[in-house]
A and B are shown apart, each in its own frame.
Chain A
Amino acid sequence: MVTVTDFINAGLLAAGIRLATPIVYAALGGMFSERVGIVHIGLEGVMLTSSFAGVVASYYTGNPWIGIIVAVLTGGLISFVHAVLTIKYVGDQIVSGTGLNILALGFTSYMTQIIWGNRGASDSVQGIADIALPIIKDIPFIGKVIGTHSPLVYLMPFVTYACYYVLFKTPFGLRVRAVGEHPTAAETAGVDVIKTKYIGVILGGMLAGLGGAFLSLSHLNLFTRGMTGGRGFIAMAAMIFGKWMPFGVFASGLLFGLADALQIRLQSLGILPPQIILTIPYLLTIAILAGFVGKAKAPSDYKPYKKE
């Protein structure tokens, strides 16, 4: 007989937090991009390329932290390509993002086979070890939920707060928001709209890259073909469900991570079809977009910007 505590317990919450981590980073990244008025559906490709680059760097240096740095820089670089195509050359944002997603899958799978001779997965590499928080890990229940995790998991709330601080408490954040909401007014007020857009998109890509790095250097310690598995799209959903606000995005990411953990648990228990749970994040996002559960309004109209 399966009881509720068999699947809703500390282990589930801990797994939920772990699964939420890449989503939260990528969603915060998407938020920065959209805040400057550039839709980034290439998040999936950015994450995938970053997970790959991180593994490559760790493989050749033996140091996973170098892997993380390389992954973050790669995320920035890929997003720079998106920025050039959509800002400088006024290319369509959706098309460019789609191209990046497909290119990322092709490139990383191709290179995996070149480097490791295997299409499906890389060799195992040095990953980042979990750390246990003293005292907290011994608290009943709470210790099991948040006591032992990857450093990147513990970094997540701080990065979220930093995003909030940058966006709402610094002159740079004010410029970012102004460029998304009223580019013409921002330009008149002396803001370099184009430069701000570039910074927003690249910063967003770096955050998504960190999410990708978590997958390959903290979660699995190897790269597998298409390992992001749609997390970039879930991140877009989390960004919208969080209404493009750092703490909202953080909370949505946690919620969607928890849903993922729950469906994995249900697979092994066989009491409820896991596929039904998997649809929930998407249905919630549609509901909030339509205004059924509080209206989500985009921070920009995403029109290409041209100097008058």
Chain B
Amino acid sequence: MSEEVKNNIGRETDSVVTGDKVVFQVIAIVIAFVVGALVLLVTGYSPIDAYVSMALGAFGDIFGIGQTLTQATPIIFTSLAFLVAYKAGLFNIGGEGQFLMGAIAATVTGIYLEGLPGIIHIPLTMLAGMIMGGLWGLVPALLKSRFDAHEVITTMMLSYVAQYFTSYLVNYPFKAPGWVSQTERLPVSAELARILPPTQLSSGIIVALALVGLVWFLLNKTVLGFELRAIGFNPTAAENSGIKIDRGIILSLVLSGAIAGLGGAVEIMGTHKRFIDGFSPGYGWDGLAVALVGGLDPFGSLLASILFGALRSGGMIMARATGVPLDINILLQGLVILFVAAPAAIRGVFRRKD
């Protein structure tokens, strides 16, 4: 492996927030909401009404909580996917592609393996999603370890390939009769049960929560997790101490892809019950943002996913109740990411005030 590739791997970890991490994340989020409030104020809306309505919509009753968690579920997966690669110093921004490939593989498995009992059908369908997502992560891993192709670009490009390829599949070979670009519905034996009717929340949230714990355990309590973090921290030192970097790159990207793919499978099995062209509003792309807002920690990812889920579900309620354009929630997401992007900027602002 060339020196150049090793430099590339190590570079991302330079900017990891260290110390007072939680405080910085919270300050970044607060500043984002303050700027959002200014936008609301200037455009003639009451920020207090808007935020209160949003918060009540997202958490005020069982329905709101159910919808918030439903929206959070896919981004828990995609942010964990980003995190696993990031800890090994790899920037997998292709979560969207791995998510979509997992979703289509699960859909096809679910539909064509009909007749199995649910207890076998459900795990098989999830496994199909994981395998396909993992394979979609293996491609950039091989391109990087064999050909020095930077994973930021290859994973991004592969997301678009996946988007168009899955669109092709649901418009041609797997298209259900009718004018909508979608597959047939999954048989009930491959569906995840709704656990909080009438909300859309499915047992997929339980899979997501279990995965948060698993990823934490993997990264902090296993030899593999230690090796991946060592590679991310200092690839040269890791290699000198006998860790195989190529193997680490491949394992972390395959694992990352498998997690995103599982997320795609769960989203289909729990929420949509079929692959509808364009069903993902960019859950995979959100993974990067959510993982960073969560301070690059599995439990932080969970909290940040709930925040982003709340912006989506509460935003809809707010738009209906107050007439504020729904897109304020996307604007807020963008602001949160920007302020999280440069911890030094926040530190700089506060230092100047001292």
Contact = CB atoms under 8 A, between A and B. Distances in A.
A89 B345 contact: yes
Q: How large is the interface on A (under 10, 10 to 19, 20 to 34, 35 or more residues)?
A: 35 or more
Contact of B325 (A95, A114, A233, A237): A114
Contacts, number: 168
B18 interface: no
B168 A273 contact: yes
Contacts of A86: 342
Interface stretch (A132-140, A192-200, A285-293): A285-293
B143 A109 contact: no
B156 interface: yes
B164 A285 contact: no
Interface string A268-299: 00000101101100110110011110000010
B289 A290 contact: no
Interface string B17-44: 0000000000000000000000100011
A11 B238 CA distance: 57
B332 A276 contact: no
A127 to B, nearest CB: 24
B333 A240 contact: no
Interface in B307-354: 325-338, 340-345, 348
Nearest to B331: A106
B222 interface: no
Given A85-B341, A104-B334, A289-B154, A282 B160 contact: yes
B101 interface: no
B334 A91 contact: no
A109 B325 contact: yes
A141 interface: no
Contacts of A81: 338
Contacts of B332: 106
B327 A96 contact: no
B285 interface: yes
B93 A94 contact: yes
B272 to A, nearest CB: 20
Nearest to A301: B7
B325 A279 contact: no
A46 B77 CA distance: 29
A98 B330 contact: no
Given A278-B164, A279-B164, A89 B327 contact: no
Contacts of A105: 327, 330, 334
B338 A114 contact: no
Nearest to B337: A99
Nearest to A119: B325
Contacts of B4: 301
A185 to B, nearest CB: 17
A107 interface: yes
Interface of A: 39, 41, 81, 84-86, 88-92, 94-96, 98-107, 109-111, 113-114, 119, 230, 233, 236-237, 240, 273, 275-276, 278-279, 282-283, 285-286, 289-292, 298, 301-304
11 contacts: A41-B152, A81-B338, A85-B345, A86-B342, A92-B342, A99-B334, A99-B338, A109-B325, A273-B172, A289-B150, A289-B153
Interface of B: 4, 7-8, 11-12, 14-15, 39, 43-44, 91, 93, 143, 146-150, 152-154, 156-158, 160-161, 164-165, 167-168, 171-172, 285, 288-289, 292, 325-338, 340-345, 348
